[in-house]
Structure 1
Amino acid sequence: MSSLVAYEDSESEDESIDQVEEGTSASVQTGSYEQNQEVVLYNNSKVTPSPQSFTLDPDRTVLEYHGNISDRSISSLHLNSQQQNCSIRTTQDKHFGDPAAPVSLPRTQGKTSSLQTLPHIPQRFGDGLNPAKRHCTVLPGVRPYIPKRQRLATSVETVGPKNPAEQVPGNKTRESQILSDVSETVKLYLAHKPEAAGIPRRLLMSLAGHEGPVNTVQWCPVPHLSHLLLSASMDKTFKVWDGAESGRCLRVYTCHSGAVRDACWTPCGRHLLTGSFDNTAVITDVETGQQIVKLDNQFKVMCAVLHPSNPDVFLCGGYSSVVKAWDSRSCKMVKVYKSAIQQTLDILFLRGGVDFIISSDCVSRDSADRTLIAWDYQTTAKVSNQIYHERYTCPSLALHPLEESFVAQTNGNYIAVFSSQQPYRMNKRRRYEGHKVEGYAVQCEFSQDGTILASGSATGSAHFYDYHNARMLQTLHAHSQPCLCVSQHPVLPATAATCDWAGEIKMAIKSSRMSLLNRTIIHSRRD
C-alpha cells in the first residue's frame, strides 16, 4: 500500500516542484521498477508506486514516460493541475533546453539505461533552434518555400538551356551576328562594278511568318548588309530576314502594341525606324532588339521618314492635321507643320532635305489643291499646294535617285511624274499605267540606277516600267492577294522582294541569277 506524503513544513510551491522533478528524473534513469521499490519525494517520506513494472520502449519519447510517471506521482500525492503543468514544463526545459548537446541518458549505479540516445523531438519555433535546420515534412501537393535569392540564381542559370538553338560558340546569341554575317552571294557582286538593273522573271522562294498584311518591305541600304530584308506588318510586329539566300527570319521585333504601318532602315544599317497605330514612333537596335527611342505622337502614325542630311531627325504623319518633326537625341519635338487636312498618307524629302512633300486625303469637288503640299523644312512654311490638280489621292511617293523628279502613286490606277524643283510641275505627257490601286496603299520604287520603276497592284502582280518611256517591261504574277510593295535589291541585279495583303513575302529573281545563286550556295556548303 502506498503511503501519503505529510507536509510538515510550509514549503514554497517552487521547492516542492523541484523535488518532484528530482524524483521523477531519478525514476527515469534507473530504467526499470520493482514491486517493493520505494521513491523518496518529500522530507524523507517514501512513496511506493503501484505494483507493476515496465521497461523503456525505444519507440516512445521521454516526454511520454515523464507524463506517465508524473500522472502516477500526482495521483498518489493529490497535486493540483497547476503543479502538474509546472512539473512537466520544468522537466522538459531541464532535459532538452540545450539544443546543442546530444540528448542521452546517463549511467546510473552500475546499470546502463536501455536507451542511450533519444530520437528526434520536435521543437517549437523560437526555442533557440535554427529554423533552417528543422526537420520539415513536405505534404504532397504543397510546394516548399524557396528564398528569393536562390530563385534568382536558378533563373539566371537556366536561361541558356531553354533556347539552345539560338546559342552560338563564344557565348554570343544568333541575334548578335545579324550585322556581322555577310552573304556569300552579295560578296560576289561587291567586288565588281555594279551592273545595270535587271528585271526579275521567276519566283525564287516564299517567306511566310507574318499573321497580318505586310505593308512594306525594304532592303538594307548598306551594301555589305544588303542581304537583310525588313518587313512591317499589321500583326504588330516587324522582322528582319535573310532575303538573299536562306530566307530565314533572323529576328522578330515586338515593340508596338498596334499595327506597324511603316518601317525603314537608318543609313548606318544598325537601327530601324517604325511608325505604328499605337500612336508611337520607335527607333530599335537591330541586333539587341532594344528600344532606343519611343515617342508618342498622339495620333496613329501612317508614315515615318528620316531627314536625308540629319538622320537624327525624322518626321511622322498620320491621322492628324499636323506633321511632327522629332529629334531622337533629345526626344523632343522640334517642328510642327499644320495644314487643313485630315490625314497624311506619305512624306517624301526632296534632295538635300530643304523641302519635303506630303500626300494627304484632302480632295475637293472640282480640284485636289491640297492633295500634294510642299513644305520648307526650316521655316515650316508652305511652299506650294498647287501641285496635283486631279481628284485622286496619292498613297505613296518616290524620289528618283539621279534626276530632279519624283513620282506619285495615284488611286486613278496610274503613276504621275513631277519635277522636284519649284514650282513642282507635273509631266502630263508621261504616266505609268497598267496596274490597279483600288484604295490599297500600293507603293512604288525606283531601281538604284533609276532606269526601272516598280509598282505593286491590287491584282497581286508586280509591274516593272521603263522610267524614260513609261513602257511596261514585265508583269510578274506573284500573289493572289493585293501586292502592296515591290522593293528592288540595291546590289544584286534583277532581284526584288514583294509583299501582299495576306502576309506573304516572296523573292523574285532572274533565271540566270538564280543559277548563279544555286552554284554559290553549293560551293559555300562544300567549303
Structure 2
Amino acid sequence: FASSYALDPSIDTHQVFSNSYIGAVDEAEKNKGLTVFESGHKKSEKRKKVKGGDAKDIDNFLGPWARYIDEKDVAKPSEEEQKELDEITAKRQKKGRNEEDAPAEEKTILHVKDMYDYQGRSYLHVPQDVGVNLRSAEVPDKCYLPKKQIHVWSGHTKGVSAIRLFPGSGHLLLSCSMDCKIKLWEVYGERRCIRTFIGHSKAVRDICFNNSGTQFLSAAYDRYLKLWDSETGQCISRFTNRKVPYCVKFNPDEDKQNLFVAGMSDKKIVQWDIRTGEVVQEYDRHLGAVNTITFVDENRRFVSTSDDKSLRVWEWDIPVDFKYIAEPSMHSMPAVTLSPNGKWLACQSMDNQILIFGAQNRFRLNKKKVFKGHMVAGYACQVDFSPDMSYVVSGDADGKLNIWDWKTTKLYHRIKAHDKVCISALWHPHETSKVITCGWDGQIKLWD
C-alpha cells in the first residue's frame, strides 16, 4: 500500500504530541494523521432541491417530488453518439426512398371501337336483348348446377385476384390482377374486354363498385387506394396511409356513397371521405392484418375478419367492436360473403371448411351448416351463394369449382376449372346456372 501510514508503535502514545509515523510519512502529515475511520472530508453538501411551496397550495406543492436545482432536463448525445445516430437516420431515409413514393401514373385503354352506341349510350347502359331481364328485382325461381365451360376471358398476364359483377344488372365484370392492371369485360354479347385501367405499380388486391357502378375503388400492394370512373377510365383520386390495403368497401347506403372503409396491413380499418380525401375514422381493435369487411344489418353494421383469427362486428362510425368472436378452435377466415337474403355470413375458414354465422343480431355459428370436402388452406378463396339460396359455391387450391347443396351441405359437384388456385367464384344474380370463376392462371371463365 503505497500511501499507507500508521503511528509508530514503539513510542509511548501517551506522551503529548508524540506523533511520529511509519510508512508514508508525508501522506500522514498531509492528512493530519487521521485514521481511515475518521475520514477528514466533511460530508459532501446534499444536492439542493427546488423549494416545494406550501402543502396547503395543492396545485403548486412539490414536496419530495421537487427537482434538484442543478438538474438537467436535456440529455445531449456526445459527438460519437451523434455521429452514429446520423448514420442510422440516413440509412432509414435511404430505405424509404427506393420504394416508389409517388403513385404510378394512371392511364386507360379502350378496347372497343365505339365508346357510345347509336343512341349515345355508353357500355354502362344495361342491355335488354340478352334473353334475361337484368333490371328485375326478382331472383330466378330455381337454380341449377352449372355443367360446362362456355367462355374464357383471357387478357391478364398474371393471376387474377378478384372479380366483381356490375351492381344490380351484372352485365359487366370487373377484374383485378397481379399484373397490376384492372379490366372491365362484357358478360353478354361478344364478351369483349372493354377497358383496361392502368395505374398501380404492384399487384392489385381488391376492387369494389359503388352502388350505381359509375365508379369503383381499387386497393393494391403499392399502398394506394384509387378511385376510378368506370366509364371514362380516368382516376378520380388516390388515398394512402403508407400501409398496404387488403380489402376495400364502399358504404352501401345511398346517402353514404362518399365514404369507404379499407382493412389495412397494420391491423386498422380506416374510413375515408372521398370528398375531402381525409381519414374520418379508424377502427383499431384487431391484432392482425384485416382481410375482409362485410356490411350487414341494413348497412348499419359491418363484420371484419383478420389474421388474428377473430371475427368482429362494428356499428358504423363507432370505433369499438360491440361483438368479438374468437374460439380456440377457430382459424383465420380470409373470405366472407353475405347471403342474398341477408341472414347468413359464409366464411371460408383456413381449416378447409366454410363456416356459416348468423348475420343478424347474435352472429352465432350455425353448427348444422358446415361445408367441407375442398382444399383451401392458405388461400382466400371467395365463396358465393346461388341467388335462390339453394347452392353454395367456392374455388379451392387445386383450381376446382366446388358446389354444395345449401340445405343438406352435401358436396354435389366438383369441376376442374383452373390450372392453379381458383380464387373466386361468383353466381350471376339473374341467371339460373351461370357461374364465373377466376384463377391464378390469369383466366376468367364462364360456366353454365
Instruction: Calculate the TM-score normalised by the size of structure 1.
Output: 0.60
Distance between the aligned counterparts of 2:127 and 2:362, measured in 1?
Answer: 44
Deviations 1:11-64 (A, max 9, x none): xxxxxxxxxxxxxxxxxxxxxxxxxxxxxxxxxxxxxxxxxxxxxxxxxxxxxx
Mark the CA change 1:323 to 1:487 in structure 2 (over 3 Å): closer, same or farther: same
* Structure 1 residue 165 displacement after superposition: 8.3
State the match for 1:185 in structure 2: 130
Distance between the aligned counterparts of 1:336 and 1:482, measured in 2?
Answer: 33
The one of 429, 432, 439 equivalent to 1:490 is: 429
Mark the CA change 1:491 to 1:321 in structure 2 (over 3 Å): closer, same or farther: same
User: Is structure 2 residue 198 aligned with structure 1 residue 259?
Assistant: no
User: Is structure 2 residue 159 aligned with structure 1 residue 208?
Assistant: no
* Structure 1 residue 442 displacement after superposition: 0.8
State the match for 1:281 in structure 2: 225
State the match for 1:271 in structure 2: 215
Distance between the aligned counterparts of 2:303 and 2:196, measured in 1?
Answer: 32
Q: Is the 8 A contact 1:497 1:505 kept in 2?
A: yes
The structure that is helix-richer by fraction is 1
State the match for 2:60 in structure 1: none
* Structure 1 residue 189 displacement after superposition: 6.2
Runs of 4+ in 1 over 3 A off after TM superposition: 163-170, 186-195
Q: Is the 8 A contact 1:186 1:227 kept in 2?
A: no
State the match for 2:283 in structure 1: 337
Mark the CA change 1:342 to 1:248 in structure 2 (over 3 Å): closer, same or farther: same
- Classify the secondary structure of the residue corresponding to 2:130: helix
* Structure 1 residue 489 displacement after superposition: 0.8
Distance between the aligned counterparts of 1:314 and 1:348, measured in 2?
Answer: 12
* Structure 1 residue 481 displacement after superposition: 1.0
- Classify the secondary structure of the residue corresponding to 1:459: coil
State the match for 2:52 in structure 1: none
Larger Rg: 1
* Structure 1 residue 397 displacement after superposition: 0.6
Corresponding residue pairs, total: 336
Distance between the aligned counterparts of 2:383 and 2:126, measured in 1?
Answer: 30
* Aligned-partner residue type, residue 395 of structure 2: G
The structure that is strand-richer by fraction is 2
Note the 1:105-144 alignment, pairs <5 A: none
User: Is structure 2 residue 271 aligned with structure 1 residue 325?
Assistant: yes
* Structure 1: runs of 5 or more not aligned: 1-162, 364-370, 510-527
State the match for 1:405 in structure 2: 344
Deviations 1:446-504 (A, max 9, x none): 22232221111111111122222212232222112110000111112211110111111
Deviations 1:374-404 (A, max 9, x none): 2222321111223454241111011112142
Q: Is the 8 A contact 1:213 1:502 kept in 2?
A: yes
Mark the CA change 1:202 to 1:404 in structure 2 (over 3 Å): closer, same or farther: same
Distance between the aligned counterparts of 1:248 and 1:409, measured in 2?
Answer: 31
- Classify the secondary structure of the residue corresponding to 2:180: coil
* Structure 1 residue 266 displacement after superposition: 1.5
Mark the CA change 1:202 to 1:376 in structure 2 (over 3 Å): closer, same or farther: same
Identity %: 27
- Classify the secondary structure of the residue corresponding to 1:401: coil
The one of 232, 235, 242 equivalent to 2:176 is: 232
Distance between the aligned counterparts of 2:326 and 2:223, measured in 1?
Answer: 29
Mark the CA change 1:389 to 1:186 in structure 2 (over 3 Å): closer, same or farther: farther
Mark the CA change 1:164 to 1:234 in structure 2 (over 3 Å): closer, same or farther: closer
Distance between the aligned counterparts of 1:372 and 1:264, measured in 2?
Answer: 21
* Structure 1 residue 340 displacement after superposition: 4.6
Distance between the aligned counterparts of 1:434 and 1:202, measured in 2?
Answer: 21
